[in-house]
């Protein structure tokens, strides 16, 4: 049925974006079978590393050591008191907690943390997973799976994810960014590798990757790369990319995801909250994706300054699919700016957002907040067309939204959406 007015258009677009189930292509969530790796509940929500960084800003007197010696509950109490009681929680990470509590039906106005905690005492992980995925309308969660983590390796040895809603991504940062400390671990696991990449090392790295692809059936291989990532370069990283990652990605027919722009541990005392960012050289992306046009690449960049050139680079290379407003960009003002730029340069051939959730409950806020912005920008683009006489069909709007929230990802993979 075609849309007859802009009021009708506004209502329909917001409703379609709000209610279309999403494939969340990058998260740090895990299926229940991964045990303690899956984080959920209000104390995990409050001790999210974003909130830890923000709390220290108001606690000049608190030593890092004292904080890290606290129990999780004590940390959550301090964060709640600092960011939610002594100050108003309007930063995006704070607002997110308020959105989650509200969406769970708690009386947020009461600010009664003990009351919220009491709910979690009576709910199981599997019930909570079902409830959150349903409330957030997330149909598929792509995990970040680390073959270098001993606890996670045991979970895979027991069978890994048996929940079809949780799919794998093979994350290989230690291989590309910490080779000095990683090659001994590969040797321990039975791969005949040498620090100087001599002998059968490159073939053995390819075998390692293929073994994990067989075990995990990952949708893609992923790595985060520093802002000073250079390519080409006479380095171990560049050689492993060229001679291991690329051929294995090609043979397994899965994309290589590059998440570029991280400056790790600029404040090590903050642990996970201690990473920062830097502007990267878009030329690295240009040169890799144009050199390997028969391989698919998913790319996101961490610096706001890289967003426009990344979108233009995607116009030049159809094997490049850009995704998400990552990490320090996952804020309403930047999501809107970046999404507007991408729709104008690339139309719907993008993945506008991923959640990057570390705590299951966060799905409620990261998707609520982004859906609202995506709908607002999409409506504006449709309204421009409407004003020029274009008539929009309801089922075409639904098609566009389904593409933005997962369809384009699955088509890029060349795989059917398993949750369609
Ligand atoms: O490297 C990554 O995948 C990042 O997303 C980090 O996990 C980061 O700490 C984060 O949680 N960003 O949202
Ligand atoms: Zn992440």
Q: Ligand 1 pocket: which of 37, 326, 327 to mutate (most atoms <8 Å of CB)?
A: 327
Residue 15 burial (CB count, 10 A): 14
Separation of CA 213 from chain center: 20
- Taking each helix axis as running N to C, give the angle between helix 332-346 and helix 307-316, from 0 to 180 degrees, rounded to the nearest 10: 20
What's the pLDDT score for residue 9? 98
How many A from CA of 1 to the centre of ligand 1? 42
How many A from CA of 13 to the centre of ligand 1? 30
CA-closest residue to ligand 1 atom 9: 272
What's the pLDDT score for residue 182? 98
What's the pLDDT score for residue 240? 98
Ligand 1 atom nearest residue 358's Cα: 11
How many A from CA of 284 to the centre of ligand 1? 21
Q: Is residue 419 part of a domain?
A: no
What's the pLDDT score for residue 112? 98
Ligand 1 neighbours, Cβ below 6 Å, are: 28, 224, 259, 272, 275, 327, 356, 358
The upper half-sphere exposure of residue 325, i.e. CA atoms within 13 Å in the direction of its Cβ, equals: 25
CA-closest residue to ligand 1 atom 1: 224
Domain CATH number, residue 345? 3.20.20.140
Ligand whose nearest atom lies closest to the CA of 328: 1
What's the pLDDT score for residue 322? 99
How many A from CA of 327 to the centre of ligand 1? 6
How many A from CA of 261 to the centre of ligand 1? 11
Q: Is residue 420 part of a domain?
A: no
Distance CA 303, CA 91 (A): 19
Q: Is residue 353 part of a domain?
A: yes
Burial of 182 (C-beta count, 10 Å sphere; 0-12/13-18/19+): buried
* Tokens read off for 155: 């979970």
Domain count, the chain: 1
Ligand whose nearest atom lies closest to the CA of 25: 2
Q: Is residue 271 part of a domain?
A: yes
Q: Ligand 1 pocket: which of 173, 176, 358, 362 to mutate (most atoms <8 Å of CB)?
A: 358
Question: Please, where are the H alpha helices in 305-407?
Answer: 307-316, 332-346, 363-387, 394-402
The parent domain of residue 145 ranges over: 6-413
Q: Is residue 161 part of a domain?
A: yes
Ligand 1 atom nearest residue 326's Cα: 13
Q: Ligand 1 pocket: which of 27, 28, 267 to mutate (most atoms <8 Å of CB)?
A: 28
How many A from CA of 57 to the centre of ligand 1? 21
Peptide bond into 230 cis (omega under 30): no
Q: Is residue 27 part of a domain?
A: yes
CA-closest residue to ligand 1 atom 13: 327
What's the pLDDT score for residue 187? 97
Q: Is residue 157 part of a domain?
A: yes
Distance CA 195, CA 174 (A): 14
Report yes or no: 385 and 15 within 8 Å, Cβ to Cβ: no
Ligand 1 atom nearest residue 275's Cα: 9
Q: Is residue 418 part of a domain?
A: no
Residues of the chain with pLDDT under 50: none
What's the pLDDT score for residue 381? 98
- Output the CA–CA distances (angstroms, integers) from residue 273 to 48, 66, 141, 269, in the order listed: 9, 16, 23, 9
CA-closest residue to ligand 1 atom 10: 327
């Amino acid at each position: 049925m075609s849309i007859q007015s802009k009021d009708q258009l506004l209502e329909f677009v917001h409703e379609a974006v709000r209610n279309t189930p999403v494939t969340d292509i990058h998260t740090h969530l895990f299926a229940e079978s991964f045990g303690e790796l899956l984080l959920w509940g209000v104390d995990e929500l409050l001790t999210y590393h974003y909130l830890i960084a923000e709390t220290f800003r108001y606690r000049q007197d608190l030593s890092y050591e004292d904080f890290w010696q606290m129990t999780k509950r004590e940390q959550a109490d301090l964060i709640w008191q600092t960011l939610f009681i002594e100050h108003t929680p309007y930063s995006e990470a704070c607002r997110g907690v308020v959105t989650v509590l509200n969406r769970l039906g708690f009386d947020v106005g009461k600010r009664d943390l003990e009351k919220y905690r009491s709910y979690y005492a009576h709910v199981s992980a599997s019930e909570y997973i079902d409830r959150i995925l349903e409330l957030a309308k997330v149909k598929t969660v792509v995990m970040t799976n680390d073959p270098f983590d001993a606890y996670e390796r045991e979970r895979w040895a027991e069978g890994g994810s048996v929940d079809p809603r949780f799919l794998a991504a093979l994350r290989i940062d230690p291989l590309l960014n910490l080779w000095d400390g990683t090659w001994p671990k590969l040797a321990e696991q039975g791969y005949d590798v040498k620090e100087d990449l001599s002998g059968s090392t490159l073939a053995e790295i390819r075998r390692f990757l293929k073994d994990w692809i067989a075990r995990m059936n990952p949708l893609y291989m992923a790595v985060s790369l520093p802002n000073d990532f250079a390519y080409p370069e006479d380095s171990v990283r560049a050689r492993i990319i060229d001679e291991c990652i690329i051929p294995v990605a090609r043979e397994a027919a899965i994309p290589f995801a590059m998440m570029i722009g991280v400056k790790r541990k600029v404040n090590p005392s903050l642990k996970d909250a201690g990473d920062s960012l830097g502007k990267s050289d878009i030329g690295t992306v240009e040169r890799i994706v144009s050199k390997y046009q028969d391989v698919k690449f998913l790319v996101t960049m961490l610096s706001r300054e890289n967003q426009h050139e990344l979108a233009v680079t995607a116009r030049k290379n159809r094997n490049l699919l850009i995704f998400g407003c990552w990490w320090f960009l996952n804020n309403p003002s930047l999501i809107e700016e970046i999404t507007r730029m991408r729709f104008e340069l690339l139309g719907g051939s993008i993945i506008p957002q991923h959640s990057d959730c570390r705590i299951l409950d966060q799905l409620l806020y990261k998707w609520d907040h982004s859906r609202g912005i995506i709908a607002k920008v999409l409506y504006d683009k449709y309204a421009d067309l409407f004003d020029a006489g274009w008539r929009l069909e309801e089922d075409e709007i639904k098609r566009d939204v389904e593409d933005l929230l997962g369809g384009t990802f699955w088509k890029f993979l060349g795989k059917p959406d398993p949750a369609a």
